[in-house]
Structure 1
Amino acid sequence: VGIETIGAALSEPRDAIEDIIEPYLIQRGFVQRTPRGRVLTRHAYKHMGLAVPGKDQNDQSRLFEG
């Protein structure tokens, strides 16, 4: 996802995400930056107790389901 989408979901300004939150999540191994946006790593899925999608799946639509 893009930084604007993350900001909207977290109600945080873009600068705070890029300067504070994103580097921390990358350092912890939860997020990876790609040319198409940010993606969760396997480590993040496991940490949140979610099923890790298979190689053919790129569906993160269930991330914010409660």
Structure 2
Amino acid sequence: VSCIHVPEETQKVLFEHGYPCECRGPIYVKGKGNMTTYLVRPRGYMAPTSVINVPSTGTTSNK
């Protein structure tokens, strides 16, 4: 999925208009130095959650 990369000032305006943004963290921007940047996500976007493999019950084996 492609995203738009924006600075913090733009993120604040987009957030006010209902666009979720995901913090990418500080990065070096040529001519600006270190800046906190954000990825603009589509409206209704939900960040993926990590998946944990849990063994199903009843499948243990005794050797």
TM-score for the superposition, normalised by structure 2: 0.28
User: Larger % of strand: which?
Assistant: 2
Q: Name which structure has the greater RCO, CA cutoff 8 Å, separation 6+.
A: 2
User: Larger % of helix: which?
Assistant: 1
TM-score for the superposition, normalised by structure 1: 0.27
